[in-house]
Structure 1
Amino acid sequence: MKKTTLVIGASMKPNRYSNMAIKRLVTNNQPTVALGLREGEVAGVKIEKEKIVFEDIDTVTLYIGAKNQPEYYEYLVELQPNRVIFNPGTENPELYRILTKNKIDFINACTLVMLSTNQY
C-alpha cells in the first residue's frame, strides 16, 4: 500500500517546484495532500490553507524557506510523519533538532529527483 505525502508550500503556479512535485507524485500514483497560502487544485489534489491534521502521513516534503517554517513546527510533530524531505533552499538546523527529538527522520534531498530516480 502506498503512503500519503503532504506537500507544504504548494502552489498553483506551474513553474513552481511544489506544483511540479504534486504532478509527479500523482503521476507516480502516490496519494498526495497539499497545504499552501491559497486554496486551489493541482492535478486533482486540493490545496488547503488550514493546517488539517491529516491521518497516516508518511512523508512531508517542504517547499517553504526556513524563515517561514516555525509556524509549522508543532504541526509537523503532531502529524508524526515517517520522514520530512527538505528540498533545496528549505534546509533548517533548528527544525532538524526538533524532528530528531521527536524521532522523525529527515533528509536533505529533491523530491523531483527522488521520484525520477525511483528513490522515493
Structure 2
Amino acid sequence: MKKTLVFGASLKSGRYSNIAIKRLVDNDIPTVAFGLRKGEVHGVHIADRLDSFQDIHTVTLYINPKRQPEYYNHIINLQPNRVIFNPGTENPQFYPLLEESNIQVEVACTLVLLATHQY
C-alpha cells in the first residue's frame, strides 16, 4: 500500500490538504498527517511533530515553497518513494535534493491523481 503523509495538513474543511485526507481515506490508502496544529480529520490524527512517521511511501506537500527548506532533511530522512508537489508547492530548488536521495519528484495534484485512478 502507498502509505501517504499529508504534509501541511489543515483542520479547516475547505483546505485542499483536508480534502486530500478525506479522499485518501475514502480510497483505502493508509494516511497519516503532519500540520501546525494537532487535531483529527476523517479519522486521521494530525501530528505536530515529525518524529513518529515510518514506512512512508508518498509525501504529498501542502506547504508554501518558502516554508519548505526547514523540512528538507525531515522529508528526505523519511525515505519516501515519492514526493508530490501539489499546485502552489512547486519548488525547483528541492527537486534535485530529493532526486539525489532516489526519491521521485512528481509535480501533480493529489486530488486529480485520485480522481483519475493514477495515484
TM-score (norm 2): 0.97
AA at the equivalent of 1:9: G
Q: Cα offset for 1:77?
A: 1.1
Conserved 8 A contact 1:53-1:79: no
Amino acid at match of 1:95: F
Percent identity of paired positions between Structure 1 and Structure 2: 62
**Residue 81 (structure 1) aligns with:** 80
Q: Quick one: distance in 1 between partners of 2:52 and 2:81?
A: 15
* Runs of 4 or more consecutive aligned structure 1 residues displaced over 6 Å after TM superposition: none
In 2, Cα distance between equivalents of 1:53 and 1:74: 15
1:111 corresponding residue in structure 2 = 110
CA RMSD of the aligned region, Å? 0.7
Q: Which residue of 1 aligns with 2:49?
A: 50
The answer as to whether partners of 1:10 and 1:19 remain within 8 angstroms in 2 is yes
SS of the counterpart of 2:57?
strand
SS in 2 for 1:114: helix
Structure 2: how far apart are the matches of 1:38 and 1:54?
Answer: 16
Query: Which residue of 2 is the match for residue 14 of structure 1?
Result: 13
What residue ranges of structure 1 are gaps of 5+ in the alignment?
none
Cα distance change of structure 1 residues 91 and 101 upon mapping to structure 2, 3 Å threshold:
same
